[in-house]
Amino acid sequence: MIGRQALPVDETQLAVPRPVSSAQRLTLVPTQPGTVHRTFADAAETRRSGPPWRRRERRMPAGLVHAAELVADRSLCGLPLDSLHEFGRSRYAFEHFEAHLRCSACHAAAGSPDS
């Protein structure tokens, strides 16, 4: 029986990569500082929404949508918040409303945010 000759081995191909430490693997994503605004509207209306077997009446903003800082008693355009209807930010974020539905003064004061 004739033996086989060993081929030269490139050691760089055999090298197993070392595990990366968690400090190197996980990096923080820089966040862009943004101002959070509360959402208010001139009026409120109720609409039925959802699938037919589970329709619910929901309170929706009507009229112009205004913005206010988190701790403020007036909107960015100067209207007192007592005269406006407040809406939860989780469902009705000021940035998610189209520009023509927003109060133009609040839109400009908020820095013309886009969603």
Name the region of 63 (left: φ>0; alpha: ψ -120 to 50; beta: rest). Answer: left
pLDDT score recorded for residue 35: 78
pLDDT score recorded for residue 112: 86
Query: What's the burial of 103, exposed, middle or buried (CB within 10 Å: 0-12/13-18/19+)?
Result: buried
In the chain, DSSP finds a helix count (H) and a strand count (E) of 3, 3
pLDDT of 40-57, one tens digit each?
999 999 999 888 899 999
Per the prediction, the chain carries an average pLDDT of 82
Structure-block tokens of residue 1: 């029986």
End-to-end C-alpha distance for the chain, whole angstroms: 76
